[in-house]
Structure 1
Amino acid sequence: MALKIKSKEATAIINSLSGGVVPRIGVQHITVGRKLEIEAFTDALDDVKNGHSMIKFWIGDFGSGKSFMLHLLNTVATKQKFVVANADFTPDNRLYANDRKAVALYTAIMDNVAIHTKPEGGALPTLLDKWIEQIVSKTAQLNDIPITEIRDEKYFNLIQNNLMQTVNEVTETGGFDFGVVIIKYYEGYIKNDDYLRRSALKWLKGEYRTKTEARQDLGVREIVNDMNYYDMLKNFCRLFVSMGYSGFMVNLDEAVNLYKISTSTMRAKNYEKILTIFNDCFQGKVSNFFINFSGTKEFLENERRGLFSYDALKTRLETNKFETSEHRDLAQPVIKLVPLNHSEIFVLLKKLKEIFDLNHDVNLNITEQDIQLFMEEMFNKPGADEFLTPREVIRDFLNILSILRQNPDADKRTLISDIKISDERPDENAIDSIEEL
């Protein structure tokens, strides 16, 4: 059966995977071997819809599909009317800091807010506009004002009061300034004042560096900072739910960058923040919030630098002692991604060949036997058992397809036989030799 895939999705898949990164859209078309994980995730989403909150840690080796999994979770969640956001930990983005590195993570999250109709991110203005329209319509209905007249300047205070009332209902910390900024956004929205609207967005996304600048532009006393950004995320979660969304899901990838923090004190502070979020989720201190972390086994289990170095997290995240490879517990906070087997990779490569042909409007002469030959060549190379990752298999396969498309006379069997295996994994263990400050 031919794949039903949009041209935009096909292009995103081929271009992204050829570059060794996960496509932001269309991942559902190339999903294989994750049925149990998706079923467990869907069950967790149902709980979050009903007012609970959840935290999950997706653990796997380098190139095993952690980032792919997070993007797939986005697709599943947006279809169930969740607002979602992705961000990567980097040396300049973390959960705890006193030099704007935590608010930098917050800004990355807010930049990447996505909904079903805007899956590639940048949906925060769309959501705010939608919320304002809801308040405007509600105000008109409650006060028996024709919808064609409600935007008249004489009703501005009425709408403003309703906006602030809603903000007060959904915010706990920083509600006053949050409300003032929302009012400023509305004012810019209704008066077509782009500067005021952009200034309000700038504040909401944590981009103001000084209180003075924010006060001059918006008349507020505070800005989003390293200490209050988590409260702002919770405020937005409640706001999104008040609009009719199921909840807010945040995916944080490349958690190994927390493991790489050189000082033990700063690492512990970041792990303490994870503990705070964990406790908030499981003790009911936050509702309709789902947060996912992805990282390597070292990030989780290394008892000198990983999460297991923080005793309170270790006791919460240790694997169910009754779990086996045959009987898995996918309801626990930590889900370890099992590598795809050869049959699943074969199915994946068949799908990629079909998508490649659709994207480039070709029909390359690559048969199932050729794909089988390619896999045998890849997996029988010296070092394959130790070094080979799905990412490298996919990239090499697409590179061969690209050569054949542009060079029809090229011999596919020669290309396949020329494959070489290299170790692309970062040396996380070498970090342990770094002297701590």
Structure 2
Amino acid sequence: NEPTTSRGRIDFAAAHARIGELMATLGVDFDLDAPVSSLGVGQRQRVEILKVLYRGARILILDEPTAVLVPQEVIELFVTLKRLVAEGATVIFISHKLDEVLANCDEITVIRQGTTVAHTTPRETDRRGLAELMVGSDLPDPSGRETSVGDAVLLQVSGLDVAGTAVGAKLALDDVSLRVHAGEIVGIAGVEGNGQFELCEAILGLTPSVRGSVTLEGRDISGAPTRERIAAGLSYIPFDRHREGLLLDAPLWENTFLGREDNPKLSSRVFTRRRAIEADSRTIIERFGVRTPNEHVPAFALSGGNQQKLVVGREMASNPKVLLAAHPTRGVDVGAQSAIWDELRHARDNGLGVLLVSADLEELIGLSDTILVMFDGRITAELDPADATPEMLGTYMTGEVQGARS
């Protein structure tokens, strides 16, 4: 689709002009010569939309496009999409965020367990009605707790610095300090790419730190290998279940065994106990509602939501002292979301410490006892969830406001 000159070379001037026209149609404006890495998440989405429009697409399929956007970027995205629709394009918007569906869609199709269960419109239904069509009950609520935060500090990160990936680049983590107490969920809010991934990897020992320390129950584990940290009580729901959390070609029972090789119930010093592992896998599958015929099915055969439930179930089954939970409900339906929230709340009420990284601001506000905001590799604010709103968090996450501490 690239324009070419009479000599067969790419005509960059014509390409720039065509993209400029499309940008004007979408109502967006950024430097076409800037590297994509320098753009924010919302702008990168506009680039993806521009790419498909440049190739002549008139039907856009967007799968959870607002999952990593702050509220202001969500508004901008829907302004862009409505401009496209006004120009005659068709947008298929896939989402579990019912308020966004009701506010922006003309028609709604509800799919449950792979089957279409309803066709409706925003005029004919509401949030509760959609939730009942999706899961047979009202929407889950992440808030509520029955116990108080404990006094014991389970995880402490002090003055942590992590180098950037490129030589001479700025620090990926810059003087990060935090505490997680027993029975506490500490939420991390931030636009993706502001140090959340590096923070979790540094705590696990997967990324070396330049300076600072990590202690677990008062024991300095800064120099300990990852396996030793896991054995000491750390557990991790990863950012990317495919790259970090699953062996896609392996059966489910092998995947639920990952990271638990030192569990004496599942293996001896020399051999694995396959029957015990398979029985344990069946327990996880049943407890977390993973939809599968049996534990011998390969992980790639599961839907994304069921893969996520399997990963969450495996990490919770290890009975950790501190859980690093990165987007634990990303890509799951509202029923599975409710089940995962219940498990996190139950474990927290029994003394688990949780460091929760999430792009779902309602989830962060509802589950967290304290919210820390990360921007540009630093913790720039500490907020009380009782006072926080998604709009407020959005201003902190984009760096418009910094320095609040409750």
Larger radius of gyration: 1
TM-score of the alignment, normalized to the shorter chain, above 0.5 = no
Higher percent of residues as helix: 1
Q: TM-score, normalised by structure 1?
A: 0.31
Q: TM-score, normalised by structure 2?
A: 0.33
Question: Greater relative contact order (Cα 8 A, min sep 6): structure 1 or 2?
Answer: 1
Higher percent of residues as strand: 2
